């Protein structure tokens, strides 16, 4: 199983595969989780999800990024919030060498890595308004289908638009399991972008992208396995 999920804001961490019967019980950490919604605090169900040490570190890593001291603090504290779910477990203590070995199994940011359109998984649109910009994500799966009588899909258009403007490397997202690139279109570019969206996007995507100035910044997530 992947140790960090696909880009789904409303889904819990993926279910863990069956474990090897000969695996030491010390390698399995009992984890519980529930929806972290205050209005349902008294009735929300508690579910159980045993994890290996690597899977638990992967869960925390998706929240913190690769910051060993912060990861160790959360593992000792025994709780973290992920998506709309709160996870908790008995305190776990890793010595620095053990944690470093586990973290070494996860990718590192690679600023020298060029943008590869074929590896792109999603495009995130932002209006870039501080302190909390409005974000809308378009996934490859929903944008790849062509509208009737159109020779190009919205996804092909977005990738061609981005590739022509050489997105810059931002960081590796452990939440998204992807290298993230960004670009800020000019006013002329935004006009061309909105024109392509209006011409090629299906109605539901057009509705989501209708917010004024939503294309002030684009981020593109590229998987490393593609």
Res 20: pLDDT: 34
Check residues 37 and 184 and name the one with the higher pLDDT: 184
Asked if the model's pLDDT at residue 86 lies above 50, the reply is yes
Q: ∠164-182-205 over CA atoms, to 5°?
A: 80
Among candidate residues 179, 220, 51, the one with its CA nearest the CA of residue 60: 51
Average pLDDT estimate for 27-48:
76
Average pLDDT, the chain: 84
Q: Taking the CB of residue 41, how many other CB atoms lie within 10 A of it? A: 10
Average pLDDT estimate for 42-51:
80
Non-local (6+) Cβ contacts of 168 within 8 A are 181, 182, 183
pLDDT digits (tens, 9 = 90+) for 141-187: 999 988 888 889 999 999 999 999 999 999 999 989 999 999 999 99
Share of the chain above pLDDT 90, in %: 63
What single-letter DSSP state applies at residue 91?
Answer: -
- Residue 188: helix, strand or coil by DSSP? helix
- Residue 101 confidence class, pLDDT cut points 50, 70, 90: very high
Answer yes or no: are the C-beta atoms of 119 and 172 closer than 8 Å.
no
Question: Whole-prediction pTM value?
Answer: 0.79
Helices and strands in the chain, H and E counts: 7, 11
Answer yes or no: are the C-beta atoms of 123 and 218 closer than 8 Å.
yes
Answer yes or no: are the C-beta atoms of 201 and 193 closer than 8 Å.
no
Q: Taking the CB of residue 203, how many other CB atoms lie within 10 A of it? A: 8
pLDDT digits (tens, 9 = 90+) for 121-147: 999 999 876 666 788 999 999 999 888
Asked if the model's pLDDT at residue 219 lies above 50, the reply is yes
CA dist., res. 109 & res. 172, Å (int) = 5
- Residue 8 confidence class, pLDDT cut points 50, 70, 90: very low
- Residue 58: helix, strand or coil by DSSP? helix
Res 1: pLDDT: 32
Among candidate residues 5, 1, 16, the one with its CA nearest the CA of residue 178: 5
Helices (H), 66-181: 68-77, 96-103, 140-143, 154-163
| 79-82 β-sheet, strand order | 47-48, 32-35, 85-88, 79-82
CA 175 distance to own-chain centroid? 4
Res 5: pLDDT: 40
Q: ∠142-146-152 over CA atoms, to 5°?
A: 115
């Amino acid at each position: 199983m992947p140790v960090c999920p696909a880009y789904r804001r409303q889904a819990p961490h993926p279910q863990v595969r069956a474990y090897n019967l000969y695996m030491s019980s010390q390698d399995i950490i009992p984890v519980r989780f529930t929806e972290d919604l205050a209005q349902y605090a008294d009735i929300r169900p508690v579910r159980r999800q045993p994890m290996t040490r690597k899977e638990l570190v992967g869960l925390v890593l998706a929240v913190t990024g690769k910051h060993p001291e912060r990861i160790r603090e959360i593992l000792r504290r025994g709780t973290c919030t992920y998506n709309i779910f709160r996870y908790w477990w008995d305190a776990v203590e890793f010595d620095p060498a053990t944690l470093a070995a586990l973290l070494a199994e996860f990718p590192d940011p690679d600023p020298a890595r060029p943008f590869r359109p074929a590896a792109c998984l999603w495009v995130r649109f932002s209006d870039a308004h501080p302190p909390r910009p409005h974000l809308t994500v378009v996934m490859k799966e929903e944008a790849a289908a062509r509208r009737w009588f159109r020779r190009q899909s919205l996804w092909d258009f977005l990738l061609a638009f981005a590739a022509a403007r050489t997105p810059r490397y931002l960081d590796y997202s452990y939440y998204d399991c992807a290298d993230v690139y960004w670009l800020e279109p000019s006013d002329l570019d935004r006009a061309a972008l909105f024109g392509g969206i209006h011409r090629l996007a299906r109605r539901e995507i057009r509705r989501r992208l209708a917010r004024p100035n939503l294309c002030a910044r684009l981020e593109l997530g590229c998987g490393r396995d593609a």
